[in-house]
Amino acid sequence: MKGLYQNSRHILCRFGFIIACVLSTFQSDGSTLPVPPSIWILSIEAEIDPRMSLYVAKGLKEAETQKATHLIIQMNTFGGALEDAEKIRNLLINAKIPVWVFINKNAASAGALISIACDKIYMAQGSNIGAATVVNGNGEPAPDKYQAYMRSLMRSTAEVSHRNPLIAEGMVGRPLAQDSSTVGHVISYTTAEAISNGFCDAQVSNINDILRLNHLNTINIHRYEPSTSDEVVAFFMNPVLRSLLMLLIIGGIYFELQAPGIGFPLAAAVTGIILYFIPSYLSGLSENWEIVLFFIGVLLLAAELFVIPGFGIAGVSGIVCMFASLVLVSVNNQVFDFTFVAEADLEVLLLMTGVSSCLVFVLFFTLGKQVLQNRYFKKITLQEQQLSIDGYTADTNENLIGRKGTAFTDLRPSGKVIVNGKIYDAYTSGEFIAEKSTVEVKEQSMGALKVRGLKTETEN
């Protein structure tokens, strides 16, 4: 029995080995376990801007990483920023997988450039492609240097995708004369016209029609959606929220200067700076130098307050740099070139910045004391007033309210003063008081004196 058992065991092992070898052979040539192809779909159905170019870059990279066989772009756009359209065009030309586009209604301007960069173009009935004239922020034709560059970009893209470069150039429009900057006839095709001129491979109703035309019946379709981090960035790019963050930044810095040592306004300002600048940077809207400009402004303002006497060039320059940075990181300018920024958008942003600044000053002068005395604010700051009437003194047993003295240092807005021959910590309501100026004590609390400057007879 024992011998029979061992013989049976050997036979089963050999049989199993043979089956494993056969299966491995089938798997190696892919004849029995084929891997179904995977197609990724991206949507370009909004304005072409830094966020869109970042979305396409991430989606294409993910599709290539996941070994997708094709990438299909579902498009319906009237165009957008030329710089971002060129970024997307370069990505598609250098893609490692075939890229097709399905135009469902519109591929105008920058959308036409992106479409021509794709390997195949499919269009729904009633769709259009073309009208790629470069326009400024107000919708008017941009200067001819931009048109000339766009024409060459369209020609080179058509050459790479084996389409007629002259037709692609005509979508931008040719000058009416050699010395004229006026854009002439601009080509824009319907679906039928695009097919007859080689700028559309077929008319389809949906993506499933594209798959059937290319005999891709067994297919895995993956629609690329923005990640959670992308959605968070988009949330903080909301104009209303950005105006509140701007208010938080300006207000935090201002209140910190008015009440030195509290710390909470500065923490609020830092939080606002992080939430304002990082989403702009991640979305590709802001450049490094625009963010650095803000911190240069902070350093200039700090130097004015704590190093350089008076309030002059450094302080004003710091404030200008900070406000310029807040504006620049929110508009798609090209190093102070606002040709393609809509005047309305720029005016709204400047108005938003001005209103935020004015609101900070209004809140300080109307609600400043109420905010400092709020019960929630008291939990994180020292609010107790050590008044002389309650037995507290600022290194003296005297009530100094109403007394006059001299600024021992510059007050910007804090510093030191001399009253009755003694030196005290002091601060103002925000005004700058130069060293040796005459001051008057207005309040006496928290071991410091609140003073105001008095004009001398010479100044009068």
Instruction: Write out the DSSP string of 360-391.
Output: HHHHHHHHHHHHHT-HHHHTTS------GGGT
b/e map 229-238, b = 16+ CB within 10 Å: ebeebeebbe
Q: Where is pLDDT greater, at 399 or 138?
A: 399
pLDDT of residue 311: 57
Q: Is 350 left (phi over 0), alpha (psi -120 to 50) or beta?
A: alpha
Q: Where is pLDDT greater, at 119 or 181?
A: 119
Angstrom distance (rounded) from CA 266 to CA 446 = 20
| Residue 185 and residue 193 in contact, taking contact as beta carbons nearer than 8 Å | no
| Residue 99 and residue 119 in contact, taking contact as beta carbons nearer than 8 Å | yes
Say whether pLDDT at 421 is over 90: no
Instruction: Map residue 101 onto helix, strand or coil.
Output: strand
**Mean per-residue pLDDT for 82-95?**
91
- At a CB cut-off of 8 Å and minimum separation 6, what does 173 contact? 133, 147, 183, 184, 185, 186, 187
pLDDT of residue 262: 54
Say whether pLDDT at 394 is over 50: no
**Band of residue 225 on the pLDDT scale cut at 50, 70, 90:** confident
- Could you tell me the end-to-end alpha-carbon distance of the chain, in angstroms, rounded to an integer? 126
Q: Where is pLDDT greater, at 370 or 104?
A: 104
Instruction: List the CATH code of the domain at 38-225.
Output: 3.90.226.10
| 336-390 pLDDT, tens digit each | 665 555 555 556 666 666 666 666 556 555 555 555 555 555 544 444 554 444 4
Instruction: List the CATH code of the domain at 388-454.
Output: 2.40.50.140
pLDDT of residue 279: 82
Residue by residue, DSSP assigns 147-192 as HHHHHHHHHHHHHHTTS-HHHHHHTT--BSSTT--SB----EEEHH
* Domain extent listing, the chain: 38-225, 229-286+329-378, 388-454
Say whether pLDDT at 25 is over 70: no
Q: Where is pLDDT greater, at 287 or 111?
A: 111
| 45-78 pLDDT, tens digit each | 988 887 888 889 999 999 999 899 999 999 999 9
pTM: 0.60
Q: Which residue has the tokens 């802001």?
A: 286
- At a CB cut-off of 8 Å and minimum separation 6, what does 375 contact? none
In single-letter form, the type of residue at position 85 comes to: A
Distances (CA, A) of 260 to 108, 195, 255, 302: 55, 70, 8, 13
Other Cβ atoms less than 10 A from the Cβ of 143: the count is: 11
Q: Where is pLDDT greater, at 21 or 230?
A: 230
Percentage of the residues of the chain whose pLDDT score is greater than 70: 68
pLDDT of residue 345: 58
Distances (CA, A) of 72 to 203, 212, 216: 15, 14, 13
HSE at residue 278, side-chain half, CA atoms within 13 A, is 12
pLDDT of residue 162: 94
**Band of residue 257 on the pLDDT scale cut at 50, 70, 90:** low
Quick one: tokens of 31? 């004849």
Angstrom distance (rounded) from CA 304 to CA 412 = 9
**Band of residue 335 on the pLDDT scale cut at 50, 70, 90:** low
pLDDT of residue 243: 76
